[in-house]
Structure 1
Amino acid sequence: MFRKIDDRTYASPQITVADVAEAKALGIAVIINNRPEDESDDQTPGAAIEAAAREAGIAYHAIPVTHAGFAAWQVEAMRKALDQAGDQPVLAYCRSGTRSTLLWALAEAAAGRNPSRIAAGAAGAGYDITPVRAQVDMLAAQAG
């Protein structure tokens, strides 16, 4: 269920409270929820995931992303959450894992990471960053 996109980052479709225990077993230090609340009837509420994460000693951040796209504040918030984790593993989730992966790609580019490596990491986990590749290239160039 959790797909590894780089040395410390996993993306996942919607998780449940029970999945938090699996995240803990993997050593996940931070869970990032990229799903807006009430996006669908079958999603576990963010508050339930947050409570389970905190109980397990895992930091939790909600950075909701709608299908409208990505804003600068979301990229910055994702970057801060990734930085908070240091070298410890991070799990980001949304409905399918795609928005989480795309936001991760933008945040990594904003930190000056190599766009080709970002794309390769996402592809290795089964995600395609083509929808944001131009922005990834631009952010990486600006971070230079």
Structure 2
Amino acid sequence: MHIRKLTDEVSVSPQILPGELADLAAAGFRSVINNRPDGEVDEQPDSAAMAASAAAHGLAYRYIPVVPGHYEPEVIDAMAQALDELPAPVLAFCRTGTRSTSLWALQAARGTEPEALVKVAGDAGYDLAALAPRLRAMRHG
């Protein structure tokens, strides 16, 4: 696992496996958000397997699939709701962590300056410069 911390409450990572959820629980995570649609690749565990493993290890679980580059308002709202409702700290994951980071930034843009979000993401290894105009529009729109 390659976990990257965005805030004290939210971290992101590339794909995790059901067997790694015990390690996440032991590391202090309380919730997991899966942003990867089922079936993107053959060897990827499906959301049902991830949910079952999360429950077995005492982790809250939320499935919010998003296709790369398709950050629709309802998906952004679902991410905001999950981050509001789920016990922290939360680990969100997708194939590389970029979608999870983008969703985190988009839902946070309503109350945070876009440049700060781009910097936090960059410090974690995710380049959100291309998303900056949308972050600004969400902040001021």
Question: TM-score scaled by structure 1?
Answer: 0.91
Determine the structure 2 residue equivalent to 1:11: 12
How many residues are paired up? 140
Once residues 6 and 128 of structure 1 are traced to their aligned partners in structure 2, the CA distance between those partners, rounded to angstroms, is 16
Aligned 1:1-144 pairs, distance under 5 A: 1-85=2-86, 88-110=88-110, 112-142=111-141
Pairwise CA RMSD of aligned residues?
A: 1.3
Once the 2 structures are TM-superposed, how far is the Cα of residue 122 of structure 1 from its aligned partner? Answer: 0.7
* CA contact 2:30–2:59 (8 Å) conserved in 1: yes
Question: TM-score scaled by structure 2?
Answer: 0.92
Once the 2 structures are TM-superposed, how far is the Cα of residue 130 of structure 1 from its aligned partner? Answer: 1.7
Once residues 68 and 121 of structure 1 are traced to their aligned partners in structure 2, the CA distance between those partners, rounded to angstroms, is 20
Q: Secondary structure at the match of 1:91?
A: strand
Once the 2 structures are TM-superposed, how far is the Cα of residue 76 of structure 1 from its aligned partner? Answer: 0.2
Residues 47-105 of structure 1 deviation map (CA, whole Å, 9 limit, x = unaligned)? 1111111122211111111135110000000000111136x211111111111111111
Q: Secondary structure at the match of 1:70?
A: coil
Structure 1 residue runs of 5 or longer lacking an equivalent are: none
Once residues 120 and 6 of structure 1 are traced to their aligned partners in structure 2, the CA distance between those partners, rounded to angstroms, is 12
Once residues 42 and 126 of structure 1 are traced to their aligned partners in structure 2, the CA distance between those partners, rounded to angstroms, is 25
Once residues 129 and 85 of structure 2 are traced to their aligned partners in structure 1, the CA distance between those partners, rounded to angstroms, is 27
Structure 1 runs (4+) deviating above 2 angstroms are none
Structure 2 residue runs of 5 or longer lacking an equivalent are: none
* CA contact 1:33–1:92 (8 Å) conserved in 2: yes
Q: Secondary structure at the match of 1:128?
A: coil
